[in-house]
Amino acid sequence: MSQAHLEYKDRVNLGSYYTPPKFVQLAWELIESSIDSQTAIIDSACGYGDFLKNYGQSVTIGCDIDEDAIEIARKNTDKVQFFRTNALSNVSREKFGIPQQSTRLIVVGNPPYNDRTSLIRHKIKNVDFEVDEDIASRDLGISFLRSYNKLAADFVCILHPLSYLIKQTNFRHLKEFTANYKLIDGVLISSGEFPESAKHTPFPIVIAFYQRDTKGMEYDYIRSFPFRIGDGLHFCLSDFDYIINYINKYPSKQHQPISDDSLFFWTMRDINALKRNRTFVQNYSNNTIVLDKSKLDYYAYVDVFKRNIHRLPFYFGNCDVPIDDTLFKQSKHCFISDTIRHHPYLEKHFQINPIEKEEVETELDKYFRLLLGKHHQCNKVFYDLKSSLF
């Protein structure tokens, strides 16, 4: 079993979730053609060394902070230089004996992602190793990405949460990295495919292949990037319009006037959060938005959307709620009827006569199929290794 030598607490702290072999292979398919006899390959968070393959490069380097993992890696691999060290302190090529120039450096692997401040499993999180000030971040994965820039790697092919790229705040945190690297290929996989990961709400991971590029990349480049999802299909953020363009998703900083007639809605972050949270709520709290009633139809949309979330594949997990406003306007009475059926107290706020359940369901089914097209879950598009050479 992978990472079997670690207790649960240490797995969380070190972000030790080893990569299934089919994804290691996929990463190698991306970098293979960039390797020559002058190339050095490094995995600075190598675990048992599963990413350390030999494709004719001159040097292969494995590093991990976990002594036991390195011992196992030594037995698993051949012709690899190992370092039992913290990859995030005193980061430099010299640390690993890599020449400054003339050697093409490729980073490969699956660095840990561990948000040190998040509340999930907060009690057992205790990461206490040094991180160089210029690459420090509350998320270990972001520090690792910054460390590759410090190593001036020519190519970086690693697995990381898709949210690093598609959430604008995360993208901004990656500034030093995104100023010097450009995504040239990206394959989306589900965290649910990792043994021991949380199965109920899988999040999207990208096998990302970056090339060093002095022009770097802007967020708009990511918005229109065609991420591969298997079977020759792609997912592109800019193919959709999103609910953020219609309603307020977060509680406003200013004091909200609350009256007996106010309506409340749970804060929306992304699709995975919507999966866990409620929509309309009857009491005000720190996590609720006081609705602007002129936008009530759009909140009804999100409420209906939540009941149809099973239609979306995993890679929408960190996205905002997509909407096709023209189609929505055509079937609005069905959305509102569905919301009223689930929240009868809202009926008095809408000026419609609710429609029968059967008719509503047929119409909603049509809407979601048109909205999602090739991404609709019934047309399953899960990644299949056999078709990985698109």
Ligand X SMILES: C[S@@+](CC[C@H](N)C(=O)[O-])C[C@H]1O[C@@H](n2cnc3c(N)ncnc32)[C@H](O)[C@@H]1O
Residues that bind ligand X (CB under 6 A): 14-19, 43-47, 50-51, 63-66, 69, 86-88, 109-110, 112, 129
Helix, strand, or coil (residue 201): coil
Single-letter residue type at 142: I
Shortest gap between Cβ of 167 and ligand X (angstroms)? 20
The C-alpha atoms of residue 271 and residue 258 are separated, in whole angstroms, by 27
Query: Quick one: 3 or 339, whose CB is closer to ligand X?
Result: 3
Helix axis angle for 332-342 and 296-307, nearest 10°, is 70
Q: CB nearest ligand X: which residue?
A: 47
Q: Which is nearer to ligand X, 51 or 368 (CB)?
A: 51
238 and 203 in contact (C-beta within 8 Å)? no
Q: Which of 213, 196, 113, 120 lies closest to 158, judged by CA?
A: 113
Cα separation, 333 vs 343, in Å, equals: 15
Residue closest to 124 by CA, chosen among 6, 201, 3, 10 = 10
Q: Under a CB-based contact definition with an 8 Å cutoff, are residues 91 and 150 in contact?
A: yes
Nearer to ligand X, 87 or 151 (CB): 87
Distance CA 189, CA 169 (A): 22
Least CB distance to ligand X at residue 160 (A): 10
Residue 73 or 271: which CB sits closer to ligand X? 73
| Smallest distance, ligand X to C-beta of residue 78, A | 17
65 or 237: CB nearest ligand X: 65
Residue closer to ligand X by CB (options 14, 247) is 14
Distance in Å, CB of 30 to ligand X, minimum = 15
Alpha-carbon span 225 to 244, nearest angstrom: 20
Please, what is the minimum distance in Å from the beta carbon of residue 382 to ligand X? 21
Please report how close the Cβ of residue 201 comes to ligand X at its closest, in angstroms: 19
